[in-house]
A and B are shown apart, each in its own frame.
Chain A
Amino acid sequence: MIRARSSVGLVASALILAACQTAGRTAYEAPLRQGELLDPPAAAQPQQAARTAEADFGLIDADTIAHDGRYFRISDLNPGERPSAETLEAGLWQSMDRVEQQARTSGNRVDDPELNAYLTEVACRVAGPHCSDVRVYVMRVPAFNATMAPNGMMQVWTGLLLRTRNEAQLAAVLGHEVGHFLRQHSAQRMKSAIEASNFLAFFSVATGGWGGLAGIFAQGQLLAFNRDHEREADGYGLLLMNRSGYDPREASLTWKNLIRERDANPEKDERDPFLATHPAPEERTEVLGELGMAVASKMPTTEKGRDRFLEIMLPRRAAWLRDELNLRSFHTSNELFDILLEDDPNPAEILFFKGELHRLRNDEDDAQMALDFYGEALNAAGSAPSYLHRSKGLVHNRRGDHAAAKESFEAYLEASPNASDRLIVEDMIERLATS
């Protein structure tokens, strides 16, 4: 009994980490054919929207139970519902509660009340009556991802917040994750994993001594929700956007940009097991795009929520941009920064980080490119970080231009008189003056 419980726990630990990045076409068609997307947005008629929500899920349920009825016992979740104690799902939920406790104290969790409150607000708006079932945790990881555990624990990575451009795009992702929860995809995966005798593979991953996020990545890859689950979750994402009044045409735009990032990397790894085993993101972009248009045409009003979103994200963004630099992925980061520049209210900050990419790569011509971008940043709208002058000084110093380096370091100390590296910079200025 104990062994069975711990086995469930191990599989569960792995399942929580499921990445969700795939989609196909067929799963979307069912709700559209049945006219489920004709409901008015919740913002317009909140009472009615709350009543129709459960009907939406019920109708989709009728179309999509195709695997094994036994594992769909809690698929039609009522708000606040937990599986009864003697079920397989109960063990899974208990394990997830423990994992959630770890996530709550994990060092990579972003403990920022305002940011967490905002994400919870958006998640609640898309989750509707299931608001209190879903808990959002922001994790500081510079990659595009969000995960959903069967007990309602949702993790959103900062790399995703950096890449979404408005509240509707964020709502598309959160709605997708809520879809995984409402359909209890993790429970389905656990059961089919055990039945398919893949359990030993999961066991070895879960106990192989891989720590931290490396383990998360590996497990996420092995245990990604299957394609049908992703299609279904994307469909739910659009339904929930419709209900909550967000512009569903935004759902595909994030994917378009991710494709640009991927294609910008000339060294992209063709052996990437993710790309080898899943349909191309192009398919997802196309399907989400077409369906988003169809859904939007039936909505009386749609909202993007760009200003509200940026007001929360922009003051926090510099740390996430620095994390991106630490990846040392020049081409993908450069493409990301170009995408952000297309409509960013603070181009000075992005231009500075483009300069940083060149400074850190340090190939031929990169010193001049870095200086050019720093110059552009100083002339652009918005504000670049105060340590721009220090970076300029480092580039000049590397080129042997001592006078310019000294001038930049002095400008840095003037802009940041309480800088944590003041003593070192003063020391460098002194050396430059005598060299």
Chain B
Amino acid sequence: MRPIRTIGLAVTALLVLSACQTFNLAESGKPVSLAKSFSITPARDWNLHENGKIQIWTIDGPILQRMRVFNGIEDGKPLVEALSADQDKKPPVFETSMTPIEIRDLFVATIARVNQFNLKTGDLRPDSVAGESAVRFEYAYTDKNGVDKRGFVLATTRDDRLYLFDYEAVSLYYYDRYLDDAEQLLKSLRASAA
């Protein structure tokens, strides 16, 4: 009984997260705005897909490597808006009062909603983004096709909204190949004037 109820939301979420997407060129040196709170300036060309509050940045394609940006999630909202479509089961939601531990748990629970239950997270440690205090952790899992994936999350809040940057790539070759480019994107983050 329970698996059947999972269909709607899981399919919806998968479509949002992984289905056919239109990508545009994010040119080197040109700033891109993140929900009016931050700007990000790539130092090389990336492909950029935007859908609501989610951006996906990639060079070789999102299955191989990508930076996913959850872009200004408001209090009481899930990371993936489509999860709200399930009337039977409440999605895990962001709350402005959340501690870094709870933000990590929110991410893990959201990933579990798309049926990836085997995420292993590494050390949770303080960091900073554009002068704002932030939290960072690494993670790893084997996907449904048996491919080892690796990633890290950097999350911060500004104006009571959550900004969560999730770099993920195939462990073999791709993670290390584009790690510096991913870090460069994060270092380029600047707070926009209020």
Contacts and interface: CB of A to CB of B under 8 A. Distances in A.
A258 B2 CA distance: 10
Contacts of A421: 100-101, 104, 123-124
A198 interface: no
A106 B124 contact: no
Contact of B14 (A212, A360, A394): A212
Interface stretch (A64-72, A76-84, A180-188, A265-273): A265-273
B123 A394 contact: no
B18 A262 contact: no
Given A328-B89, A397-B99, A211 B14 contact: yes
Q: Name which of B6, B121, B122, B123 has the most chain A CB atoms within 10 A of its CB.
A: B6
Interface stretch (A40-48, A135-143, A245-253): A135-143
Given A213-B6, A221-B7, A275-B1, 19 more contacts: A107-B141, A141-B115, A211-B144, A212-B115, A212-B144, A213-B115, A216-B3, A217-B4, A272-B4, A274-B1, A323-B112, A327-B89, A332-B2, A362-B95, A397-B99, A420-B121, A421-B101, A424-B100, A428-B100
B82 to A, nearest CB: 12
Interface of B: 1-7, 10-11, 14-15, 18-19, 87-92, 95, 97, 99-102, 104, 108-109, 112-118, 121-126, 135, 141-147
Q: Name which of A145, A423, A424 has the most chain B CB atoms within 10 A of its CB.
A: A424
A144 B145 CA distance: 23
B3 A423 contact: no
Interface of A: 19, 21, 102, 105-108, 140-145, 159, 209-214, 216-218, 220-221, 258, 262, 267-269, 272-275, 323, 325-329, 332, 360, 362, 390, 394, 397-398, 420-421, 423-425, 427-428
Given A210-B14, A214-B10, A328-B89, A144 B101 contact: no
A259 to B, nearest CB: 10
18 contacts: A106-B144, A107-B116, A107-B144, A108-B115, A108-B144, A141-B3, A142-B117, A209-B15, A213-B10, A214-B7, A214-B115, A217-B7, A217-B10, A269-B87, A272-B5, A274-B4, A327-B112, A421-B101
A198 to B, nearest CB: 18
A328 B123 contact: no
Contacts of A105: 142, 145-146
A337 B91 CA distance: 20
A96 to B, nearest CB: 17
A428 B98 CA distance: 12
Contact of A423 (B7, B19, B126): B126
Chain A binding surface SS class: helix
A273 to B, nearest CB: 7
B146 A102 contact: yes
Contacts of A323: 112, 117
Given A102-B145, A211-B14, A326 B113 contact: yes
Given A217-B10, A274-B1, A327-B89, A420 B123 contact: yes
A267 B88 contact: yes
Nearest to B10: A214
B11 A394 contact: no
Nearest to A259: B1
A214 B18 CA distance: 13
Contact of B117 (A21, A108, A214, A216): A108
A416 to B, nearest CB: 13
A421 B125 CA distance: 7
Nearest to B6: A217
A142 B7 CA distance: 14
B194 to A, nearest CB: 24
Contacts of B125: 423-424
Q: Name which of A159, A262, A327 has the most chain B CB atoms within 10 A of its CB.
A: A327
Q: Which 10 A-B pairs give the minimum distances between C-beta atoms?
A: A105-B146, A107-B142, A214-B10, A213-B115, A326-B112, A421-B124, A274-B4, A326-B109, A143-B2, A217-B3
A328 B2 CA distance: 12
Contacts of A159: 2
Given A142-B117, A323-B112, A423 B99 contact: no
Contacts of B114: 212, 214
A317 B30 CA distance: 50
